[in-house]
Structure 1
């Protein structure tokens, strides 16, 4: 049986959200028994590891934990990004060498289609597959910033690092992970390892369909996306049939009680995990008292334009 190797990296704070992502993958897989999760665990507590294992096994998947320590990784950090964000860059080093291909997912997302479809997409010989980041592509100011900091020419795609298909044979051969970390450490990029990945893999990555990483500027159909024809067409196509719904950005679904389309999917898949009876919501300190009304309104706006233009 051909195994599908999927990697997450998490500390204990994100253990529940990792379980939700795993549940979404397994519930939408035609063959969940093919899926093996490799969890890069930065001190996930044993009780939460057990709850993740129970979730995965109940849904017919396999799981293995690999202990890592983000403190051992050098890399530029800021108030919003910790060194744990760099753990994805060690995948080629910490996974068994017999594993030559993986899909990496961030923990703030759910998968809504059979992940085997993503697994079977050809990388056309490239070491990395990813989807465009419309949060960057829609903004003239951010595109200019990426030209100045990365040398990314105007019109050249910039990808989001929350969903990556990785050819580990090439990563090990070229030591890509270390190259990215070295670039980020040297240049203190604004978007940290995501900028570093875009720098190192410039013109050497496969652009996968946008539906495999639908982030807020797409599922909320931001005005700058709506007004750029090339982006609007792709965004409308992606939100018609999203395969990955990714809460990239500051607002996270678990920080609010179930309330409308912004966090409905998170609660749907939480029900299938061993964390389903955990106290909710889980707001961080700076989100106390905030609401997701604006996010829900933006999603209604997106639905309106999808009906008009789709």
Structure 2
């Protein structure tokens, strides 16, 4: 039987969150094709690798760790964007040759629907598929910035790289990953390798439904989205029926005590992992003392708009 190949990448600091992401996949999977996780390990400790393995195998998944600590990457990093974020650009080289297709997922997300549905989504001959990024597309300022820096004109799509379906055979034959790394190495893009991916795959990617990557501009439904006639109703439907809930941006669920809609899903899935007994929350230095009150308020307002505009 064919396997569903899923790739995630993390360093030791994000190992726990990678385990939570993997658990969310397997908890939703309806046991069609088996799920095989390829975990790109950027110097994750043996103890944490063992905990990730225990999590995945208990939930009836397969896992293979791929050591990446010795790989040299010359690329711009900042804030919560670290070295591990660039490893996805090397999936065509790092995964076994017999893996010709893979779903890549960031580690700051949860899968809330059966991953097999995404796996069978046709790529329509494109080398990759991803979800349009409404944080960019609904911002006049950011649309102008992408046109100036990437040559993506207003009206064209720009995708978020946190969820991608990749045709690895095409990536290998065209050396797409290396192309992106070369573009990123030429300058410090505002959105790092995501900008590089959009530059290389401009007009050559398949758009996925918004529900497969529900980022903050969807789950908080700010005015820039609600007033955008092209995206308003699609965003509302995605917020109501998320297939992937993605904490893209600075606020992460594990940095705060469990507190309502913003992070309760993370804590629910954490209980199903071998990291269930770790000390929580885990705020980074620049987030100590901060609150998710504003995020919770925005989500409550978003629910109100969902009821009014649906």
What does 1:118-197 correspond to in 2, within 5 Å?
A: 118-197=118-197
- CA drift of 1:78 comes to 3.1
Instruction: Please name the residue that 1:25 is paired with.
Output: 25
Q: List alignment gaps of at least 5 residues for structure 1.
A: none
- CA drift of 1:82 comes to 2.5
The structure-2 alpha-carbon separation of the partners of 1:207 and 1:33, relative to structure 1 and needing over 3 Å to count, comes to closer
- CA drift of 1:121 comes to 0.2
- The alignment partner of 1:103 has SS state of strand
What is the CA deviation profile of residues 192-221 of structure 1, one whole-angstrom value per residue up to 9, with x for unaligned ones? Answer: 100000000000000001100000010000
The structure-2 alpha-carbon separation of the partners of 1:70 and 1:300, relative to structure 1 and needing over 3 Å to count, comes to farther
The CA RMSD measured in Å over matched residues stands at 1.1
- CA drift of 1:190 comes to 1.1
Query: Residue 131 of structure 1 contacts residue 210 of structure 1 at CA under 8 Å; is this kept in 2?
Result: yes
- CA drift of 1:77 comes to 2.5
What does 1:137-286 correspond to in 2, within 5 Å?
A: 137-286=137-286
CA distance in 1, matches of 2:107, 2:90: 17
CA distance in 2, matches of 1:94, 1:259: 38
Instruction: Please name the residue that 1:69 is paired with.
Output: 69
**TM-score of the aligned structures, taking structure 1 as reference length:** 0.98
CA distance in 1, matches of 2:39, 2:24: 16
- The alignment partner of 1:187 has SS state of coil
- The alignment partner of 1:282 has SS state of coil
Q: List alignment gaps of at least 5 residues for structure 2.
A: none
- CA drift of 1:80 comes to 4.4
- CA drift of 1:231 comes to 1.4
CA distance in 1, matches of 2:80, 2:71: 16
- CA drift of 1:76 comes to 2.3
Instruction: Please name the residue that 1:58 is paired with.
Output: 58
Query: Residue 130 of structure 1 contacts residue 165 of structure 1 at CA under 8 Å; is this kept in 2?
Result: yes
**TM-score of the aligned structures, taking structure 2 as reference length:** 0.98
CA distance in 1, matches of 2:282, 2:75: 28
Displaced runs of 4 or more, over 6 A: none
Query: Residue 86 of structure 1 contacts residue 193 of structure 1 at CA under 8 Å; is this kept in 2?
Result: yes
- CA drift of 1:71 comes to 5.4
